[in-house]
């Protein structure tokens, strides 16, 4: 690889970001230095890699810098409030695009100048997520370096409701229309998501640049594990991931409670909604087959999951991301050598059935998910676990890393 130092601009909390972890570890493995601009927050399940590696420097996303007036999350809110407040006057004076543009010029001037002063030599910039693209593009232009946009979601329909679209879509459209042209390469995790982006960029936003897309799958690192045998004819189900209302995980609980066979169900979940977490707990508070455990550090997650039998993933298709989801969780379960049961989201269904690692419900109803769970037997589960063992050898980040390094080599 030609370049020596990478700047990564992150759209989430770096301490728990598995995508940034994989990218960073791949770059470190290739003897590169990394500067990460990101929000930080230490938790009991933080990824220790970021704190232990001397080749990584983390710059806070201006949380503690008094010279800068704006934080990115405040800008998202203030831009929308600013526009809504004077909307009735703007139509007769300025259109929305100009208004947003003027606000962004003010924002970027202070934000980018701070980082440009504090960052010396960089060779490539990687921006994760759409919201930080203006910052990455401004620094890339000033430093005269290539810019890579890494998109792990379909951001133009992140939440499928009119209020979300009203508040966020104008801002995202503005960012895409004004800053996508600075991007040298767009990395996506799936062909279906690539189709959605192309449809929106070319047919809705009417951009005429021939953008270069690359598919790099969102898989975990390879783990040298073996499938665990089922003990005492008791099926150990597990779920790991976000406990959020829009996922409708209560349906998964209702389906499980209908089962007559011997099982346990463990949740390793992060929840930002205490009311929803309490609701889920209330559904099983008198059923000792269910338990909720704290999340484990990411580096230990796959090994922790390996002690279970069946990884469950119920995902309500309430936006395009969920409908087409391959879901990182599925590949984690496979890497942990589990059998899988999932809902028929197109990406998830494809990976489960093609690799013969589990079952997929016919629809998203409780009854359908229950009937699918009820088909499981210990011999069938072990067959799926053995198939996961084979699939884990190809569905891992070690293989995808080669694509990433080759892509960066050729920028």
Q: What is the pLDDT of residues 339-384, one digit of tens each?
A: 999 999 988 999 999 999 999 999 999 999 999 999 999 999 999 9
Residue 208 predicted with pLDDT over 70: yes
Give the predicted TM-score (pTM) of the model: 0.87
Assigned architecture for domain 235-391: 3-Layer(aba) Sandwich (3.40)
Q: How would you label 236-264 residue by residue, b for 16+ Cβ within 10 Å and e otherwise?
A: bbbbbbebbebbbbbbbbebbeebeeebb
Helix or strand or coil: residue 217?
coil
The mean pLDDT of 158-187, rounded to a whole number, is 83
> Where exactly does CATH 3.40.50.2000 map onto the chain?
5-219+398-409, 235-391
Residue 225 predicted with pLDDT over 70: yes
Among 301, 399, 401, which Cα is nearest to 28's?
A: 401
Contacts of the segment 136-139: beta carbons below 8 A, 24+ positions apart: 136/7, 136/9, 136/182, 137/179, 137/182, 137/183, 138/108, 138/111, 138/112, 139/7, 139/112, 139/115
Residue 92 predicted with pLDDT over 50: no
Cα→Cα distances 404→25, 48, 49, 149, Å: 12, 23, 20, 12
Rounded Cα gap, residues 396 and 382, in angstroms: 21
The mean pLDDT of 69-84, rounded to a whole number, is 45
Q: What is the pLDDT of residues 124-138, one digit of tens each?
A: 999 999 989 999 999
**pLDDT value at residue 159:** 61
Q: Exposed, middle or buried, 363 (CB in 10 Å: 0-12/13-18/19+)?
A: exposed
CATH 3.30.70.1020 fits 5-219+398-409, yes or no: no
- CB distance 385 to 227 below 8 Å: yes
Sign of CA dihedral 342, 345, 347, 349: positive
**pLDDT value at residue 86:** 45
Confidence band, pLDDT 50/70/90 cuts, at residue 36: very high
Residue 319 predicted with pLDDT over 50: yes
Residue 195 predicted with pLDDT over 50: yes
Confidence band, pLDDT 50/70/90 cuts, at residue 100: low
* Pairing mode of beta strands 310-313, 235-242: parallel
Q: What is the pLDDT of residues 228-273, one digit of tens each?
A: 999 999 999 999 998 989 889 999 999 999 998 899 999 998 888 9
């Amino acid at each position: 690889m030609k370049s020596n130092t990478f700047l990564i601009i992150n759209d989430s909390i770096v301490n728990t970001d598995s995508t940034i972890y994989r990218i960073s570890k791949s770059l470190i493995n290739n003897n590169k230095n990394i500067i990460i601009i990101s929000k930080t927050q230490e938790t009991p399940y933080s990824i220790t890699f970021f704190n232990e590696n001397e080749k990584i420097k983390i710059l806070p996303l201006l949380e503690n810098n008094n010279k800068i007036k704006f934080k990115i999350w405040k800008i998202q809110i203030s831009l929308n409030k600013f526009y809504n407040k004077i909307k009735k006057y703007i139509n007769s004076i300025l259109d929305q695009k100009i208004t947003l543009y003027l606000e962004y010029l003010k924002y970027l001037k202070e934000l980018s100048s701070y980082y440009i002063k504090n960052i010396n030599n960089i060779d490539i910039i990687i921006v994760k997520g759409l919201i930080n693209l203006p910052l990455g593009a401004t620094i890339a232009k000033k430093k005269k370096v290539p810019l890579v946009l890494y998109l792990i979601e379909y951001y133009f329909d992140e939440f499928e409701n009119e209020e979300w679209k009203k508040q966020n879509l104008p801002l995202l459209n503005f960012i895409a229309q004004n800053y996508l042209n600075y991007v040298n390469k767009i990395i996506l995790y799936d062909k279906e998501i690539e189709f959605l982006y192309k449809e929106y960029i070319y047919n809705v936003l009417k951009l005429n640049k021939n953008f270069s897309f690359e598919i790099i799958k969102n898989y975990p690192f390879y783990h040298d594990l073996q499938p665990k045998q089922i003990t005492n004819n008791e099926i150990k189900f597990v779920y790991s991931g976000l406990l959020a209302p829009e996922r409708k995980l209560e349906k998964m609980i209702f389906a499980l409670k209908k089962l007559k066979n011997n099982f346990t169900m463990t949740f390793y979940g992060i929840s930002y909604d205490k009311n929803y977490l309490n609701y889920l707990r209330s559904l099983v508070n008198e059923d000792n087959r269910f338990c909720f455990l704290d999340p484990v550090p990411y580096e230990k997650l796959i090994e922790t999951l390996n002690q279970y039998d069946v990884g469950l993933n119920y995902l309500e298709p309430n936006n395009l991301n969920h409908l087409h989801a391959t879901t990182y969780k599925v590949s984690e379960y496979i890497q942990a050598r589990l059998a899988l049961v999932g809902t028929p989201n197109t990406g998830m269904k494809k990976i489960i059935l093609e690799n013969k690692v589990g079952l997929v419900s016919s629809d998203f109803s409780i009854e359908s998910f229950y009937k699918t769970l009820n088909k499981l037997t210990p011999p069938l589960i072990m067959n799926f676990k053995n198939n996961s063992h084979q699939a884990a050898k190809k569905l891992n980040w070690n293989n995808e890393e080669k694509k990433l390094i080759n892509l960066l080599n050729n920028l």
